[in-house]
A and B are shown apart, each in its own frame.
Chain A
Amino acid sequence: MGKIVVPGEVVAEDRRPGFGVHVDGGKTYSSVIGLLDEKEGRVIALQGPYIPRIEDWVIGVVEEVKYAGYDVEIKSPYTGFISTKMTRAEFKLGDVVGAKVANIDEARNIDLMDPRRLTGGEILEISAMKVPRVIGKKNSMIDTIIQLTRSEVMVGRNGRIWIKGGNSAAAAAAILMIEREAHTTGLTDRVTDFLKREVGK
């Protein structure tokens, strides 16, 4: 577990541009509150907005229906857009959709593809920063949750998680546990034990 750094704190004595850092003169400084990876001179932000990347799956809400497509709110400073050319499906205002980020241009227009409406179930909102931990290395964590609860789960990289069926309460509880304890070790085992106890009830 690394040390916590604040904006303006030195993280490397040479120039290492990247996310969460600011290069000034010959040195690199943290630009956000985050965890320092001393070896690499990188900062993993502990707080901040979700900025989509291409190939991310996100869960959003249709907030405007236009002739050319749909504006989708994705818990980000920027709005997603599903072009009617990209999909045969039709969506209504307020529909919850899961979709993949197809493209982001310099003007931060976010194009979404492969949209599917999500119906029923529930949506959990967690910090977008914690989502990688919910997914786990090679999906190990999320697969464990799905196997043990038999719920349908879709994880949005933007911090929204859709859960339907199975022991959805246990799945939700496990995910909230991961969000709380994201930076600790031994989490996978604790989550597995927790779920085995819950599902066994």
Chain B
Amino acid sequence: MTKDLFSGGKRLDGRGLDELRPLTIKAAVLNKAEGSAYVEWGGNKILAAVYGPRECIPRHDMDPYRAVLRCRYRMSPFASKDEHGRSGPNRRATELSKVIRETFENVVLLEQFPKTQIEIFVEVLQADGGSRCASVVAASVALADAGIPMKDMVSAVAVGMINGKMALDLTGAEDNFGESDIPVAVAARNKDVLLFQMDGELTKEQVNEALRMAVKASDEIHAKQVAALMEVYESKMAAQGGNSD
């Protein structure tokens, strides 16, 4: 079954092919975590929390030379219609936990905290396409908020093919009814690709186009991540301005 994902030349939500959905990011939203962030991106609502570095438990997982990074991605039972009522880890959540962890293993300076663990928890409160990318965006801000040293911040976005055209930032419907979905995570500074997956079939040229679109969009996303952190930390400093001496 093919579904028509375009109407009058525009996507069903009115966007052009290379437009991002509305994205808002807030840092330091949880009191009990060392670092946290909340992301609303299109219909996605995602919470990320970071703990550590702290003692590595279980002890036998401990690495004497670096911190162990753990990541748990989880969808809440009400995140989407498909997940309704199902609880506990499933294969998809296990896969996403792994790819998100591997993304950050590239940038977190793990050698600075041997024998410890750093944990990233991502809760998807509502999903609407690109939740793993939104999770990476949230986790990156949460890690920075926690003061975990990193080489760089990471942003992510999914590109896909819908009705034969390459489109940026797929919605849930576009992902389900389109021909291909490619989530990409990009390090802000030097555009290193840290996560790259693909559903569907594409030619080499189309894959390159997808990568190009994702890298181009990453600057806009990174700017919002930085703004979210600045908002918290600048206001902490400015709040009690005091007199100058």
Identify which of B109, B151, B245 contacts A186 (C-beta below 8 A). Answer: B245
Residue-wise, chain A 6-21 has the 8 Å CB interface mask toward B (1 for contact) of: 1110000000000010
Q: Does B241 have its Cβ within 8 Å of any Cβ on chain A?
A: yes
Are B114 and A8 closer than 8 Å at their CB atoms?
no
Are B114 and A183 closer than 8 Å at their CB atoms?
no
Are B226 and A6 closer than 8 Å at their CB atoms?
yes
Q: How many residues of A contact B (CB 8 A)?
A: 31
The chain B residue sitting closest to A187, CB to CB, is B242
Are A6 and B229 closer than 8 Å at their CB atoms?
yes
Q: Does B19 have its Cβ within 8 Å of any Cβ on chain A?
A: no
- The segment out of A43-51, A88-96, A149-157 that lies at the interface is A43-51
Q: Does B17 have its Cβ within 8 Å of any Cβ on chain A?
A: no
Q: Does A161 have its Cβ within 8 Å of any Cβ on chain B?
A: no
Among residues 142 to 165 in chain B, which have CB atoms less than 8 Å away from a CB atom of chain A?
Answer: 143-153
Report B149 CB to chain A, min CB distance, Å: 4
Are A77 and B149 closer than 8 Å at their CB atoms?
no
A33-B245 in contact given A8-B188, A47-B35, A183-B237 (Cβ < 8 Å): no
A107-B115 in contact given A77-B52, A186-B242 (Cβ < 8 Å): yes
Q: Please, which residues of chain A bring their CB within 8 A of the CB of B187? A: 8
Are B240 and A181 closer than 8 Å at their CB atoms?
yes
Contact residues on B (Cβ < 8 Å of other chain), bracket:
35 or more
- The segment out of A24-32, A131-139, A162-170 that lies at the interface is A24-32
Main secondary structure of the interface of A (DSSP, over half): loop
Are A185 and B55 closer than 8 Å at their CB atoms?
no
Are B244 and A31 closer than 8 Å at their CB atoms?
no
Q: Please, which residues of chain A bring their CB within 8 A of the CB of B149? A: 7, 20, 22, 31-32, 48
A1 to B240, CA, bound (A): 14
Q: Does B64 have its Cβ within 8 Å of any Cβ on chain A?
A: yes
Report B172 CB to chain A, min CB distance, Å: 31
The chain A residue sitting closest to B28, CB to CB, is A47
Q: Please, which residues of chain B bring their CB within 8 A of the CB of A185? A: 242-245
Q: Does A184 have its Cβ within 8 Å of any Cβ on chain B?
A: yes
Are B237 and A48 closer than 8 Å at their CB atoms?
no
Are A33 and B243 closer than 8 Å at their CB atoms?
no
Are A186 and B145 closer than 8 Å at their CB atoms?
no
A77-B55 in contact given A4-B234, A181-B240 (Cβ < 8 Å): yes
A108-B114 in contact given A180-B240, A187-B242 (Cβ < 8 Å): yes
Are A22 and B113 closer than 8 Å at their CB atoms?
no
Q: What are 11 pairs between A and B in contact, CB < 8 Å? A: A6-B153, A7-B152, A8-B187, A32-B149, A49-B34, A77-B53, A78-B116, A107-B114, A181-B240, A185-B243, A190-B243
Q: Which 10 residue pairs of A and B lie closest in terms of their CB atoms, listed nearest first? A: A48-B147, A47-B147, A8-B152, A31-B149, A184-B242, A77-B53, A181-B240, A7-B150, A77-B116, A186-B243
Please report B residues at the A interface, Cβ cutoff 8 Å. 34-35, 52-55, 64, 109, 113-116, 143-153, 187-189, 226, 229-230, 233-234, 236-237, 239-245
| Besides A77-B116, A185-B243, 11 other A-B contacts (C-beta < 8 A) | A6-B229, A6-B230, A7-B150, A7-B152, A8-B188, A8-B189, A47-B147, A49-B52, A77-B55, A187-B242, A189-B245
